[in-house]
């Protein structure tokens, strides 16, 4: 492999749509190009589109054997991803996987186990990790067959940047990297709001400095299919030079277009006056998504018919019909998800039932405006400028609503930065970042958006009915630059090796004051807990289990993941203490 790579590639692996953009370093203008991705739009019919819908269809064996889903460049023809998978989602919901990305950050469910589609009678199922891997593999094959002219230009030989939500925790980032590595791709990670801002910088390359105020901040509002991300990017004038720094990111909000689609589906079910079964309701959700996008994207469309097939022998005769109107979209989407609120309002976190049906852990408060108020209030910095990103914000009504709410808080009109295509901005921005990180242009200073902690159990005598308190050691302070290695400054640490044990991990975005080695008491109450790791750390053969004194090292890697290591004070043994999703360390 040549040391100098020709192509700088950015991949947006989205909840609803994925895309790939690139910069050819041999292009004198360094323009960002978007890869047209070949995909099935109907059995046997292929078309190259700007994006790849993040939907995966698992046809029955007869359909597979018929050759309808044979695809040049795809080794496994037992499935298809993209446009056709999205098209049949409303009719064959038990065979279509969607929103796989949202499961990577879902507590209490192993994202490496096969449970999607999350419908009981689904004949075939895959893990969220495998679904994401297959989207990436499709993009890889598209690049290798459409752009690369020799093995030296294959995607695994290029500089690749893969985007993630700013609020993704260490586990979700690790899983994203694992999906890429399963395809032979070894990427760097970039937060999606930053990618969107890089895209805007490139589009306004000649005058972007004139469009943002020095000593102010830019709010990036990223509302996608599965998540909502808020980021603040600071703009500083340092002796006449403009500097950018990511100041803050919001909580991981499982709140976006998917929630809107479910809301409309429940409203339509009420109109039908009948409780639908899981397959019918899943079909209704997909139809509501399509209808919502059409109504929000048109000034003249007032209503769209919705039809749900019946069950049993008379599918057509027993079908149910209703319509989604423009007024209902305004009521259940604009007014419900973006209600007017005060800057001091907070998100309403309701106590939930302990017994719930299986599904994603969506936010209990769907009011995006209240989450935004909380984010701005917590960071005590009213932005002067806003950049919208994500497919949901393509609708002008939603952008205008958010701007109006922010204006009511600040008392002055916020500047809106225009982007030509929110669907492609993240991929394009990632490609530009891959180029500028070689030292070619201005970079946003970032570092870790969260602080990370490892659980520490106190040495105490057994007490009937009382578990030992769980403290936690800060191993990655918030703001840590990627590529940083820390030696944790604590002497009296020991690892239990040779028998099954549990390691607990925590994170937060609200304790920027915590320093390396700080010990947080009652961590399970103060911090957000990540999935724990259950593992038997190996010893030499025939040695009895015991506590081994260690020093601890933490690494915030160049690609944006977290590693924690324990190294024996005497001897050369060392153990990786964090997310190991191989056979020896499955998450539970």
The CATH number of residue 111's host domain is: 3.30.420.40
The encoded tokens of residue 314 equal 């008379």
Question: Which of helix, strand or coil describes residue 398?
Answer: helix
Residue 313 lies in a domain: yes
Domain that holds residue 305: 257-337
Residue 436 lies in a domain: no
Same domain, 272 and 183: no
Same domain, 81 and 172: yes
Same domain, 14 and 154: yes
For residues 228 and 257, what is the distance between their CA atoms, to the nearest angstrom? Answer: 9
Same domain, 41 and 163: yes
* Domain boundary pick from 162, 189, 216: 189
User: Which pLDDT score, from 0 to 100, does residue 560 have?
Assistant: 73
* Domain boundary pick from 291, 307, 337: 337
User: Which pLDDT score, from 0 to 100, does residue 185 have?
Assistant: 96
* Domain boundary pick from 189, 207, 240: 189
Residue 157 lies in a domain: yes
The encoded tokens of residue 52 equal 């790849």
Place of tokens 């008491």: 521
Task: Give how far the C-alpha of residue 377 lies from the chain's centroid of Cα atoms, to the nearest Å.
Answer: 24
The encoded tokens of residue 546 equal 């015991």
Nearest-CA neighbor of 451 among 394, 527, 344?
527
For residues 297 and 397, what is the distance between their CA atoms, to the nearest angstrom? Answer: 9
The three-point CA angle 294-89-63 to 5° equals 135
Q: What is the pTM of this model?
A: 0.82
Residue-wise pLDDT for 427-457, tens only, equals: 999 999 999 988 878 888 888 888 999 988 7
- Supply the DSSP symbol for 380: T
Same domain, 153 and 297: no
For residues 295 and 304, what is the distance between their CA atoms, to the nearest angstrom? Answer: 8
The encoded tokens of residue 465 equal 């009915």
Q: How far is CA 131 from each of CA 102, 107, 118, 124, 382, rounded to the nearest angstrom?
A: 12, 18, 13, 12, 39
The CATH number of residue 271's host domain is: 3.90.640.10
Sequence-ordered list of residues with C-beta below 8 angstroms from that of 309, at least 6 positions apart, any chain:
91, 280, 283, 315, 316, 318, 319
Same domain, 278 and 145: no
Sequence-ordered list of residues with C-beta below 8 angstroms from that of 306, at least 6 positions apart, any chain:
268, 284, 287, 288, 291, 321, 322, 323, 324
Same domain, 459 and 317: no
For residues 12 and 582, what is the distance between their CA atoms, to the nearest angstrom? Answer: 26
Nearest-CA neighbor of 96 among 59, 62, 145, 133?
59
For residues 241 and 221, what is the distance between their CA atoms, to the nearest angstrom? Answer: 26
Contact 493, 550 (CB under 8 A): yes
Q: How far is CA 111 from each of CA 107, 114, 531, rounded to the nearest angstrom?
A: 9, 8, 11
Place of tokens 């919705």: 306
Residue 269 lies in a domain: yes
User: What DSSP string runs through 158-212?
Assistant: SEEEEEE-TT--HHHHHHHHHHHHHTT---EEEEHHHHHHHHHHHHTTTTHHHHS
Would you give per-residue pLDDT tens digits along the chain (588 residues)? 346 899 999 999 998 899 999 999 999 999 999 999 999 999 889 999 999 999 999 998 888 888 888 876 666 888 999 999 998 887 888 899 998 998 887 766 788 999 999 887 788 999 999 999 999 999 999 999 999 999 999 999 999 999 998 888 878 888 999 999 999 999 999 999 999 999 999 999 889 988 988 888 999 999 988 889 999 999 988 776 788 988 888 888 888 888 999 999 999 999 998 888 877 888 898 899 889 989 998 888 899 999 887 765 544 446 889 999 999 999 999 999 999 999 999 988 665 444 444 456 667 899 999 999 999 998 878 999 999 998 899 999 999 999 999 999 999 999 999 877 888 999 999 999 999 988 878 888 888 888 999 988 765 555 566 667 789 999 999 989 888 999 999 888 888 777 777 788 898 988 889 999 999 998 988 898 887 766 666 666 556 777 888 899 999 887 777 888 888 888 778 887 765 444 333 332
Same domain, 154 and 62: yes
Question: Which of helix, strand or coil describes residue 494?
Answer: strand
Q: How far apart are the first and last CA of the chain?
A: 39
- Supply the DSSP symbol for 578: S
The encoded tokens of residue 84 equal 């056709």
Q: How far is CA 130 from each of CA 126, 195, 302, 458, rounded to the nearest angstrom?
A: 6, 25, 40, 39
Q: Are strands 562-568 and 546-556 parallel, antiparallel or unpaired?
A: antiparallel
Q: How many domains does the chain have?
A: 3
Residue 84 lies in a domain: yes
The encoded tokens of residue 361 equal 């852990």
For residues 231 and 237, what is the distance between their CA atoms, to the nearest angstrom? Answer: 20
Residue 240 lies in a domain: no
């Amino acid at each position: 492999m040549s040391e100098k790579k020709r192509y700088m590639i950015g991949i947006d692996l989205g909840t609803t749509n994925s895309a790939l953009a690139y910069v050819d370093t041999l292009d004198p203008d360094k323009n960002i190009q978007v890869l047209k991705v070949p995909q099935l739009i109907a059995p046997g019919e292929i078309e190259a589109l700007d994006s790849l819908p993040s939907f995966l269809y698992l046809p029955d064996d007869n359909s597979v054997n018929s050759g309808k889903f044979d695809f040049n460049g795809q080794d496994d023809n037992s499935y298809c991803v993209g446009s056709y998978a999205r098209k049949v989602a409303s009719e064959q919901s038990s065979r279509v996987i969607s929103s796989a990305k949202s499961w990577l950050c879902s507590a209490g469910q192993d994202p490496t186990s096969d449970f999607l589609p999350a419908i009981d009678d689904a004949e075939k199922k895959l893990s969220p990790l495998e679904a994401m891997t297959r989207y990436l593999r499709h993009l890889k094959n598209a690049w290798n067959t459409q752009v690369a002219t020799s093995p030296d230009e294959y995607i695994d030989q290029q500089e690749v940047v893969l985007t993630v939500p700013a609020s993704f925790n260490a586990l979700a980032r690790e899983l994203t990297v694992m999906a890429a590595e399963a395809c032979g791709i070894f990427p760097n990670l970039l937060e999606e709001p930053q990618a969107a801002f890089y895209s805007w910088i490139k589009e306004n390359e000649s005058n972007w400095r004139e469009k943002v105020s020095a000593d102010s901040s830019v709010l990036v509002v990223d509302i996608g299919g599965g998540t909502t991300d808020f980021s603040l990017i600071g703009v500083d004038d340092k002796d006449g030079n403009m500097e950018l720094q990511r100041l803050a990111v919001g909580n991981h909000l499982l709140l976006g277009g998917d929630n809107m689609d479910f809301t409309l589906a429940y409203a339509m079910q009420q109109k039908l006056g009948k409780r639908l079964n899981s397959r019918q309701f899943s079909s209704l959700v997909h139809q509501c998504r399509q209808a919502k996008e059409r109504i929000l994207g048109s000034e003249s469309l007032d209503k769209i018919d919705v039809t749900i097939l019946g069950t049993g022998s008379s599918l057509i005769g027993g079908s149910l019909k209703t319509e989604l109107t423009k007024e209902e979209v305004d009521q259940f989407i604009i007014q419900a998800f973006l209600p007017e609120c005060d800057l001091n309002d907070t998100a309403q976190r309701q106590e939930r039932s302990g017994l719930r049906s299986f599904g994603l852990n969506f936010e209990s408060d769907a009011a995006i405006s209240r989450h935004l108020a909380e984010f701005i209030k917590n960071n005590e910095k009213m932005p002067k400028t806003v950049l919208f990103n994500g497919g949901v914000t393509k609708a002008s009504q939603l952008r205008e609503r958010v701007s109006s709410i922010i204006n009511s808080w600040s008392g002055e009109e916020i500047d809106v930065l225009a982007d030509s295509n929110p669907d492609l901005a993240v991929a394009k921005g990632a490609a530009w970042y891959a180029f500028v990180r070689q030292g070619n242009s201005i970079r946003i200073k970032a570092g870790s958006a969260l602080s990370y902690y490892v659980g520490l159990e106190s040495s105490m005598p057994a007490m009937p009915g009382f578990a030992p308190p769980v403290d936690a050691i800060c191993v990655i302070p918030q703001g840590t630059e990627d590529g940083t290695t820390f030696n944790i400054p604590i002497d009296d640490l020991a690892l239990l090796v040779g028998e099954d044990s549990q390691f607990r991990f925590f994170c937060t975005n609200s304790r920027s004051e915590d320093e390396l080695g700080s010990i947080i008491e009652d961590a399970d109450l103060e911090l957000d807990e990540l999935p724990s790791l259950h593992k038997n750390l190996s010893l030499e053969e025939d040695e009895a289990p015991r506590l081994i004194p260690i020093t601890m090292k933490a690494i915030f890697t160049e690609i944006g993941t977290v590693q924690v290591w324990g190294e024996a004070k005497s001897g050369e043994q060392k153990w990786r203490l964090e997310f190991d999703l191989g056979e020896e360390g499955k998450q539970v």
